[in-house]
């Protein structure tokens, strides 16, 4: 059961029903409009900047993939040509083997026919001195012919084996070349000519210029922030715009406190729902009891009530909420401990105005009993 079901209902003073056209704050919050501040600062359109940077990175990735594919195709084509050359050389070597095999066979056959006792199973024996003398050197010449033709045949066979070995080695060499290609392309990507080739493609130069302007603006802001030249209001509004955060309003569901942000003398609680939308409200120490809870605020008749958010029938705690967001259980537990510690830190928060106090009073009542049920 939720906190309001287990204990007395946590309800707010009657609230007028919202207009039919108004949507819940948790439904799809939009980033605040980038309007100039009275003091002169301007909040960047972070969503548009993110799209520009994503478009630039996507264009660069497409270019790198195209370059990689082109280089890979070139390597494969080169090895294909080399393999074809080797296959032709192997075929030529085989033709030479066949020719020399025939010559050797004819030499053995002629020698065996003339001197049958000196030839046994395609193996010729050298004639003796008297045999060679009585044949006026003919036996020796015929024997040498068998030796020479057999040597030529072995040379042709050896050549073919070398070519076959080279053909087999091509597969290994190709794998090595492809493996080395990634490092080669990374080195080439740093060269000026590669960047110029990338920027020469339609639209890439304009995207690169926008990204440089965004980076320069971010660097200038970081320098001003470091130097203490950023007003608390600008710091706050810029951070909220970066988070696309809007004020937390009822009704809302699956809400957890995920941070406490201080901007000079301004202090705010940062909330997030399960759909990854961010919200804010002024810091209120009474909500410490919700630092390990996920809650819902819903309407009943003319008033709002609050209860603990449940998942699969059980109250959901902060670590559960953070695990959904980061997909890392250990990191979620560590972040949950850090957020709870932040909520316990003493802060000099400004008094709440009426618009904030009514809603935060409702959450403070839930915080009194929330800890008993998030176990």
Residue with the bigger pLDDT between 163 and 114: it is: 163
Whole-Å CA distances, 121 to 103, 105, 110, 270, 371: 16, 11, 13, 97, 100
State pLDDT tens for residues 193-230: 778 888 888 888 999 999 999 999 999 999 999 999 89
Contact in structure between 281 and 259 (CB atoms under 8 Å): no
Average the pLDDT over 335-353 and give the result.
86
Predicted confidence band of residue 133 (pLDDT cuts 50, 70, 90): low
How is the chain split into domains, by residue range? Answer: 59-198, 235-370
pLDDT greater than 50 at residue 258: yes
108 Cβ partners below 8 Å, 6+ apart?
119, 122, 124, 146
pLDDT greater than 80 at residue 7: no
Contact in structure between 300 and 287 (CB atoms under 8 Å): no
Query: In this predicted structure, what is the pLDDT of residue 214?
Result: 94
């Amino acid at each position: 059961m939720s906190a309001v079901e287990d204990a007395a209902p946590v309800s707010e003073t009657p609230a007028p029903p919202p207009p039919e056209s108004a949507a819940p704050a948790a439904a799809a919050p939009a980033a605040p409009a980038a309007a100039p501040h009275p003091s002169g600062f301007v909040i960047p359109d972070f969503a548009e900047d993110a799209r520009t940077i994503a478009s630039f990175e996507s264009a660069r990735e497409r270019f790198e993939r195209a370059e990689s594919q082109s280089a890979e195709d070139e390597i494969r084509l080169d090895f294909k040509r080399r393999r074809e050359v080797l296959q032709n050389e192997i075929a030529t070597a085989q033709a030479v083997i066949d020719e020399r095999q025939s010559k050797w066979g004819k030499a053995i056959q002629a020698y065996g026919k003339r001197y049958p006792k000196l030839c046994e199973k395609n193996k010729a024996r050298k004639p003796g001195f008297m045999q060679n003398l009585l044949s006026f050197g003919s036996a020796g010449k015929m024997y040498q012919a068998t030796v020479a033709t057999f040597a030529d045949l072995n040379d042709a066979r050896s050549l073919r084996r070398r070519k076959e070995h080279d053909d087999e080695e091509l597969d290994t060499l190709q794998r090595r070349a492809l493996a080395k290609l990634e490092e080669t392309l990374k080195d080439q990507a740093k060269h000026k000519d590669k960047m110029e080739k990338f920027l020469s493609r339609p639209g890439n130069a304009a995207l690169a210029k926008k990204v440089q302007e965004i980076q320069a603006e971010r660097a200038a802001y970081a320098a001003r922030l470091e130097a203490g030249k950023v007003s608390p209001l600008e710091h706050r509004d810029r951070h909220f715009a970066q988070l696309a955060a809007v004020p937390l309003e009822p009704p809302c569901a699956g809400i957890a406190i995920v941070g406490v942000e201080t901007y000079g003398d301004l202090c705010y609680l940062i909330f997030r729902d399960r759909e990854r939308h961010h919200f804010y409200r002024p810091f209120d120490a009474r909500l410490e009891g919700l630092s390990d809870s996920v809650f819902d605020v819903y309407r009943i008749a003319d008033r709002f009530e609050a209860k603990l958010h449940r998942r699969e029938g059980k109250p959901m705690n902060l670590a559960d909420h953070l695990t959904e967001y980061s997909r890392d259980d250990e990191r979620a537990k560590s972040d949950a401990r850090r957020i709870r510690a932040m909520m316990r830190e003493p802060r000099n928060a400004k008094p709440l105005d009426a618009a904030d106090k009514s809603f935060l009073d409702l959450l403070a009542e839930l915080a009194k009993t929330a800890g008993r049920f998030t176990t």
